Amino acid sequence: MTDGFAETYGRAPDGVWRAPGRVNLIGEHTDYNDGFVLPFALSRGVSVAAARRDDGVIEVRSRQASTVVTAPVDGPPVVSEGWPSEHAWAAYPVGVARVLQEHGTGGASLLIDSDLPQGAGLSSSAALECATALALCDLHGVEIDRPALARLAQRAENEQVGMPCGLMDQSASLLCTAGHALMLDCRSELSSQVPFDPAAAELTLLVVDTRASHTLTGGEYGRRRAECEEAASLLGVDALRDVKDLAGALGSLRDPVLRRRVQHVVTENHRVEASVGLLRAGALSEFGAMLNASHLSLRDQFEVSWPEADVTVDVALRAGARGGRMIGGGFGGSVIVLTPAARAEKVRDAITAAYEKRAWTPPEFLDAIPSQGAHRLN
């Protein structure tokens, strides 16, 4: 990174920062309903080599893109500027710079490198935001605690990029620790570290990139969020997190679509809490049932799954896995599968064969080692 930066900018960077992507164990589409999530950080992520600038300009280059984007840090929301689509990736770092400059940061020259597949539902956008945010704070001597920084990175994605995401991905990238999943209450923003070590229980967690790529700036995510907000308002609660009597709520909603959305969010929150209990008790193999229930709920009630995800879960279970589910926003991306370690190879082979049979792009299997959150490399 340092050499690449010197070749590009003709000087050494002031430092290199790295932020990971994430896998969410359970708690999907709960974050923007003030609920619970349980992500862990991947070893893959985004690195940003950066040098401070004092001219109020942010210049961004990426090893994964040929375009160079130079923009003032005090401009309007990026989304309002009508950037050409080949600059879309740069909206994340520039958006972060624009949000953070209100808190005292300034310009920088950045070189970005990523080993996270994009559109795989592993939060490459949040990793880019968080690595940039840490770099800008360090370069300009601004101290913001990590939960607050996660909020600001989320705000950048909401206001600058125009994607109405919740708080999970940025929190995962900034707050996760190695060997743990992060139990985050998205209302209070309180979090705790939950030990997660499948190997100790002779289990393997597979992360399967289904290669059906998603774009969450598309309308479906926003529509789900709006449906949840509408249901909460009809039920007279601040957020679906507050629904205590599910049967009563379902009975009072007329719209079957809203009923399905409520059913998912309320039960998914319970599944996160139950899962944390199981993990803390060391009952990891029981956790497989939670994954299966979550997948069915996302497929049938929240309606965000996609064919490759359904087939992956189905085939994995038939090959002896304990559980599996789609992760992330949906409509493409990745699936997790929890399997006895002794069967992991058989499960992988069965998934690969199922894709081959359908003439789908072969899936990719990624390491799922709960890793440390964002940090400075040098």
Positions 76 through 135 that interact with ligand GLA (CB under 6 A): none
Q: Could you tell me if residue 301 is left (phi over 0), alpha (psi between -120 and 50 degrees) or otherwise beta?
A: alpha
Position among 329, 332, 363, 373 found at the interface with ligand GLA (CB under 6 A): 329
Position among 20, 328, 340, 363 found at the interface with ligand GLA (CB under 6 A): 328
Position among 18, 29, 211, 260 found at the interface with ligand GLA (CB under 6 A): 29
Neighbours of 247 (CB within 10 A): 7
209 is a contact residue toward ligand GLA (CB under 6 A) = no
Contacts of 187 (CB under 8 A, 6+ apart): 34, 35, 239, 241
How far is the C-alpha of 77 from the C-alpha of 287, rounded, in Å? 42
Contacts of 8 (CB under 8 A, 6+ apart): 61, 111
Taking the least distance from each CB to ligand GLA, the nearer of 203 and 290 is: 290
Q: Are 37 and 60 in contact (CB under 8 A)?
A: no
Q: Helix or strand or coil: residue 113?
A: strand
Number of residues lying near ligand GLA (CB under 6 A): 11
Q: Could you give the angle at the alpha carbon of 114 between the alpha carbons of 111 and 8, nearest 5°?
A: 20
Q: Which stretch binds ligand GLA (CB under 6 A): 25-33, 43-51, 59-67, 318-326?
A: 25-33
Position among 15, 45, 106, 166 found at the interface with ligand GLA (CB under 6 A): 166
Taking the least distance from each CB to ligand GLA, the nearer of 161 and 203 is: 161
Q: Which stretch binds ligand GLA (CB under 6 A): 63-71, 164-172, 241-249, 291-299?
A: 164-172
40 is a contact residue toward ligand GLA (CB under 6 A) = no
Position among 26, 94, 153, 165 found at the interface with ligand GLA (CB under 6 A): 165
The C-alpha torsion from 260 through 265 and 266 to 272, rounded to 10°, is 140
**Catalytic residue at 54?**
no
In the block, which residue shows the tokens 């994954």? 291
332 is a contact residue toward ligand GLA (CB under 6 A) = no
The residues binding ligand GLA (CB under 6 A) are: 28-29, 31-32, 165-166, 168-169, 216, 328-329
Catalytic positions are: 169
